[in-house]
Structure 1
Amino acid sequence: MKRSHAIAASVALLLSASAVAANAADSPGGAAQPAKHRSAAASWCVEQGGKAQVQVPYYTKTGTQIVQLGGEREMCTFTAKDGSKIMIGADTLAADKPTLAALAYIHKPADPGGHPGNPSIGYCKALNGTAMYGPKATDGGGWAPKGETDPSKAIAACMFGDGSVIDAWGLKYHTGGVIRGADLTKKFRADIP
Structure 2
Amino acid sequence: MKRSHALAVSVLALVSGTAVAANTANATGPAPRDPAAAAPVRHSPSADAAWCAQQGGKAETRVPYYTGTGNKITPLGGEREMCLFTAADGSRIMIAADTLAADKPTLAALAYVRKPDGPSSPGNPSIAYCQGINGTAMFGNKPTDGGGWGPRNETDPSKAISACMFADGSVIDAWGLKYHKGGVIRGTDLTKKFRAEIPGA
TM-score, normalising length: structure 2: 0.76
Question: Could you say which structure has the greater relative contact order, defined with CA pairs below 8 angstroms and 6 or more residues apart?
Answer: 1
CA deviation string 1:50-72 (max 9, x = no partner): 00000000000114200000000
Cα pair 1:63 1:140 within 8 Å, conserved: no
- Per-residue CA deviation, residues 82-124 of structure 1 (Å, 9 max, x unaligned), is 00000000000000000000000000112332x2421000000
Larger radius of gyration: 2
> Structure 1: which 5+ runs fail to align?
1-20, 23-37
Distance in 2 (alpha carbons) for counterparts of 1:163 and 1:95: 11
Matched, 1:146 2:138: no
- 2:111 is paired with a residue whose SS is helix
How much is the aligned-residue C-alpha RMSD, in angstroms?
1.3
Match among 77, 81, 85 for residue 74 of structure 1: 81
> C-alpha distance in 2, partners of 1:160/1:145?
22
TM-score by length of 1: 0.79
- Structure 2: segments with no counterpart, 5+ residues: 1-42
Q: Distance in 1 between matches of 2:153 and 2:197?
A: 36
The answer as to 2:54 corresponding to 1:47 is: yes
Instruction: Give the match for residue 115 of structure 2.
Output: 108
The DSSP-based 3-state class of the residue aligned with 2:176 is helix
Question: One-letter code of the match for 2:52?
Answer: C
Given the alignment of the two structures, is residue 130 of structure 1 paired with residue 136 of structure 2, yes or no?
A: yes
Give the distance between the partners of 2:71 and 2:166, measured in 1 at CA: 27
- Tell me which amino acid in the other structure corresponds to 1:49: G
2:194 paired residue number? 188
The one-letter amino acid of 1:61's match is G
